[in-house]
Amino acid sequence: MVQSNLLKSFLEGTPPKAMRLLAARGLLPLPPADLMELLVFLSKDADPEIATQAEKTLASWTDDEMLPYVQSRECRPDVLMHIARISSSAPVLEAIILNPATPGEAIEKLAPVVPGPLLETILINRVRLLEFPGILKNVRQNPAATPQILGLVTEIEFEFFSGKKKEYAVEETVAVEEEPAADFQELVLELAPEDLTLEGLPLDPDAREEALYQKLSQMSVRDKIKFALMGTREARAILIRDTNKEVSRAVLHSPKLTENEVEGFTAMRNIPEEILREIGNSRLWTRSYVVAQNLVKNPKTPPTISQRMLYRLQTRDLAILARDRSVPEAVRRNAQRTYSQRTTQRAR
């Protein structure tokens, strides 16, 4: 995200107190994203009056004002960490947890204190858990952790930190603090199977897909998850349909996953219902109109998700959906009802 010259003048210089105080009150002509970054910066100002005022201004932002920026992958990690520390809003915290740009240290601090419904959200990002295994320990310490959440933590610990490989082990000693954490790219290389390039597969599309399917089907669950996280687009298209829910869920948290892929997933009729539910509950992915539309049309989408997405459809698409005999009957009737309500209101 390109910073404005005005923002740079604060971050790189020392403007007079009067100017800093004006900024701390949110009165400078800055784009909201720049203003949020500046307020976080000023909340650490050496002058207590300015720091306190900046915190007050940040606290005055509503969820609707803050969400677009904490959801953005371009939001600075230090801004996400600060908002995670000061916010008590469940929607804001959920957006921060789901944002891949959020530092793992911030999630470690949130894990023991967030409300219960957000604990499962924390456990979704397996890449982050692998890099910051302390998150799992902190989830266990959360008083709101249900037996189901604790059971999921146990499953993850067994799958990734069972001692089969030394680098997976969760270190409990202070020695971890004495050595710098491995670079994330190095971590990916340590975890990835030897052949992520899938070289040697046939060039013919159908034969290639069949060969890739056979190759993936012979892998252990652990290696499938690695391919789901760090493999190719072709591999993700197959693994999203895997019968093991940990494998299919890992696809959704691949750093390489694109919006176009998610749009394709929601159109699949042979995809697990749990995957459609997770996509439908993600503010990140449902920002795409195509995703919302596909979820409504997919008969495997849970009714609560498809009904929520239905209200997002444009009137012309509702009219088409209301006549589409290929969609579930309940969805078609709801589309007819919603379309009728909209057109009636406009006629008044």
Residues 164-181 have pLDDT tens digits of 433 333 333 333 333 333
Q: Same domain for 337 and 211?
A: yes
Domain boundary among 110, 145, 175: 175
Asked if residue 183 belongs to a domain, the reply is no
Domain range for 258 is 191-347
pLDDT of 346 reads 61
65 within 8 A of 40, measured Cβ to Cβ: no
Residues 167 and 59 placed together within one structural domain of the fold: yes
265 pLDDT tier (thresholds 50, 70, 90): very high
Both tokens of 130, joined, read 């692998």
DSSP conformational letter for 181: P
pLDDT at 193: 45
Asked whether the beta carbons of 223 and 193 are under 8 A apart, the reply is yes
Average pLDDT in the chain: 81
Three-state helix/strand/coil letters over 244-267: CHHHHHHHCCCCCCCHHHHHHHHH
In this structure, the answer to whether residues 296 and 231 fall within a common structural domain is yes
Of 73, 5, 86, 102, residue with least CA distance to 39: 86
pLDDT of residue 143: 93
Q: How confident is the model at residue 184 (pLDDT cuts 50, 70, 90)?
A: very low
Domain end residue (candidates: 117, 140, 175): 175
CA dist., res. 107 & res. 3, Å (int): 26
Helix (H) or strand (E) holding 329: helix 329-347
Please check whether residues 52 and 126 belong to one and the same domain: yes
pTM: 0.51
**142, 175, 208: which is the final residue of a domain?**
175
Instruction: Mark whether 260 and 313 lie in a shared domain.
Output: yes
Specify the number of domains making up the chain: 2
In this prediction, residue 189 carries a pLDDT of 43
Region of poorest pLDDT, from 29-33, 191-195, 230-234: 191-195
Sign of the alpha-carbon dihedral angle for 84, 85, 86, 90: positive
Does residue 119 belong to any structural domain of this protein? yes
pLDDT one-digit tens code per residue, 107-155 = 999 999 999 889 988 887 777 888 888 999 999 999 999 888 888 888 7
Is there a contact between 155 and 148 (Cβ–Cβ < 8 Å)? no
Whether residue 201 sits in one domain with residue 137: no
Per-residue pLDDT tens for 226-262? 888 888 888 899 999 998 888 888 888 887 888 889 9
For residues 241 and 162, state if they share a domain: no
Region 88-114 average pLDDT = 91
258 and 302 in a single domain? The answer is yes
pLDDT of residue 262: 92
Q: Which pLDDT band holds residue 3 (cuts at 50, 70, 90)?
A: low
